[in-house]
Amino acid sequence: MSRHVFLIRHGESAWNAIARLQGQADAPLSELGREQAQALTTTLSALGPMPVVSSDLSRALDTGALAGHQDAELDPRWRERGLGVWEGRLEVDVPAAELSAFRHGDHVPEGGETWATFQGRVGAALDELSDRGGSWLVFTHGGCVRAAIAHATGADHRTIAGPANTSLTLIEVGARRRLLAFNWTAPTGGRAAVPRASEPGGAEMPLPGSDPENAAGDGRAATADGEQAGDPAHGA
């Protein structure tokens, strides 16, 4: 019997909204993030009952609670990647060359986690859920989604985009491991939308067809005809 792990990235945080780097700093959800989390209720109710695990950082834990899952089991291994001295700094205050090397290579901020260490702890948490059996719902962070995919599939983490806020990613675990869905977001107003990806560490990455005037605003991705869907993705 197939077993699945549903990974939910938290809603927009107050620091996502202003492009402040978070890592393991405990930034709260923004008002938009709270609305996004509440909007998950209908989608997640369709999945049926299953045990729930959450990062112990409030932006993930509160996303779960607002989505109707107040009694999640806490596991700090599902925390975001530690960014060391960068935590709490605005992206614009970090040297551009260092930020680029972090996002596109293997640069590690002073006091931060290496990718290998980070993926190792997330992978161990994913393996434990697989060993415990059944399907699971996990409220976590963008970096953890990428790390779980890389661990399960063997993909290079640098080839995996950061998922949008409150997006759903589905991994089949057990004897056969594979990625079944990535960065899925519910249609807004019954219309399909292009999910907005995010850069590792936090910057929004506009997709073709998105509204350039909105790129620094609420981060909503555009549908094929230019309508807006709500999926900001500053930070992790």
Write down the pLDDT at residue 211. 42
Rounded mean pLDDT, 203-228: 37
CA distance 142 to 119: 12
- For the chain, the average pLDDT equals 85
Q: Where are the alpha helices (DSSP H) in 105-212?
A: 115-132, 142-153
Write down the pLDDT at residue 203. 45
Q: Is the pLDDT of residue 189 over 90?
A: no
CA distance 191 to 224: 10
Helix (H, G, I), strand (E, B) or coil at 12: coil
Which residues, in sequence order, are CB contacts of 230 under 8 Å at separation 6+?
Answer: 32, 35, 36, 188, 218, 220
Give burial (CB, 10 Å; 0-12/13-18/19+) of 236: buried
Token pair belonging to 182: 């990535």
Inter-residue contact 139 to 8 (CB < 8 Å):
yes
DSSP string, 171-191: EEESSS-EEEEEEE-PPBTTB
Q: How confident is the model at residue 175 (pLDDT cuts 50, 70, 90)?
A: confident
Extended beta strands in the chain, E state: 3-9, 52-54, 73-74, 136-140, 168-173, 178-184, 197-198, 204-205, 221-222, 228-229
The larger pLDDT score, comparing residue 202 to residue 119, is at 119
Write down the pLDDT at residue 1. 57
13-22, 138-147, 205-214: least confident range:
205-214
Q: Any catalytic annotation for residue 213? A: no
Rounded mean pLDDT, 115-138: 97
Q: Any catalytic annotation for residue 128? A: no
Q: What separation in angstroms does the CA of 84 have from each of 25, 41, 148, 224? A: 10, 34, 21, 39
Domains by residue range for the chain, with CATH: 3-184 (3.40.50.1240)
Q: Is the pLDDT of residue 163 over 50?
A: yes
Write down the pLDDT at residue 185. 87
Q: Which of 4, 10, 151, 234 is catalytic?
A: 10
Q: Is the pLDDT of residue 215 over 60?
A: no
Give burial (CB, 10 Å; 0-12/13-18/19+) of 58: middle
Q: Which of 4, 12, 69, 80 is catalytic?
A: 80
pTM of the model: 0.84
